[in-house]
A and B are shown apart, each in its own frame.
Chain A
């Protein structure tokens, strides 16, 4: 799993590639914690290159989202498709997070 970050006018765009499973989930959490500690509050997570997600991945996603909310931040998800989308649908996560078709629209939706 690979995490690439870029700043788009005060919004942190996080690109996740590979798998988000029991092995890689801790790393995801760790990276996000670093970013939050750095002071980032607004996030767009780009799942375009994510091939696979399991319950472990969903859990860390939830955990980091709560963390961000606690800091009065925002998190939007973009480019969820394929198998990952199915898992989101099955688990009902599709209704918890704001999901967008593209990074651009996610950025637009980011308030403030």
Chain B
């Protein structure tokens, strides 16, 4: 349906998109992920010409929309966008927001448009807010209305530009569930997002954008589990893991705990897992405390959704030290606890570093 060839975009001297070539077929759901500032949003905005490309071609159903003769407005009616900042029309009610497009652009009668809009609002769960005004709605509600507004135009493809980035974490899920529903119903979508689980869940294809082009693309499994290229891997790892550096024995246990809890929440880990993680971390740190005057500890917690396993890596530099070994550690109690919570404990000496890898026991549901 959409064929993009060698798309490029410059802002003055700044090259944001170098060379993007991609095809989006009807019914596909494409997620676009990548570090900030790599042109993901720009790419999306070029597709519906909110930003004018500097070069390349965009064909929609065979029509080159960069042709000056092309009726862009008409094309846009079938290709709507959901914005990060919602952009609901402030002077119109929710119902009016939904009906203005169909009535004025598609020539629908007002009663038809209102009927249809009511159905759409039911779909997104906001039927009772039909006559409210945007400034009376919460962020999540606004975004759902925005999605309904797009749907009112009966588009062939919906573009989502970081739809949940401006939302309170509590409201993210309500919006994501709407999008999930759309995907299930077969809507063609291109979504720029930072919600990795979601992207993984809902898309047919994932594009990782970096260096001004589509750095790597593949199925969700391919990208999230087996990223091939270096940068992709680094990215995937980074967003899936938690790092903490402990430099002194006077580390802030509670501060660290808070960060760990946040990470767990993001990964939507069950309560039990969280508690176990905290306990293991506390016990490990207790073990290391005597050595923290002379060495530092780097801790990484990584979660793999597919494997449903949580890994903890503790790295310290200095002379060879394996606290997991009963002989080298005086503390029976801590070690006992750790051992009971973990599936495996693995010590490695890498160069001048001591590396301990713990894999948490899986939670029995």
Contact = CB atoms under 8 A, between A and B. Distances in A.
A22 B333 contact: no
B218 interface: no
Secondary structure call for the B interface: helix
Interface stretch (A4-12, A48-56, A103-111): A48-56
Contact of A90 (B278, B282, B286, B337): B337
Contacts of A56: 282, 286
A22 B282 contact: yes
Nearest to B272: A83
Nearest to B254: A23
Interface in A81-110: 83, 87, 90-92
Given A21-B282, A59-B333, A91-B333, A52 B275 contact: yes
A36 interface: no
Contacts of B331: 55
Contacts of B341: 90
Interface residues of A, number: 14
Contacts of B254: 23
Contact of A91 (B275, B278, B336): B336
Contacts of B340: 90
A54 B275 contact: no
Interface residues of B, number: 16
B253 A54 contact: no
Nearest to B279: A54
A91 B331 CA distance: 12
A77 to B, nearest CB: 17
A92 B332 CA distance: 12
Contact of B337 (A22, A23, A91): A91
Nearest to B340: A90
B253 A23 contact: yes
A54 B341 CA distance: 12
Top 10 A-B pairs, shortest CB-CB distance: A90-B340, A55-B333, A55-B334, A54-B282, A83-B275, A23-B253, A91-B336, A90-B337, A55-B283, A55-B337
Interface of B: 253-254, 272, 275, 278-279, 282-283, 286, 331, 333-334, 336-337, 340-341
Interface of A: 21-23, 52, 54-56, 58-59, 83, 87, 90-92
Given A90-B337, A91-B333, 19 more contacts: A21-B253, A22-B253, A22-B282, A22-B286, A23-B253, A23-B254, A54-B279, A54-B282, A55-B333, A55-B334, A56-B286, A58-B333, A83-B272, A83-B279, A87-B337, A90-B336, A90-B341, A91-B336, A91-B337
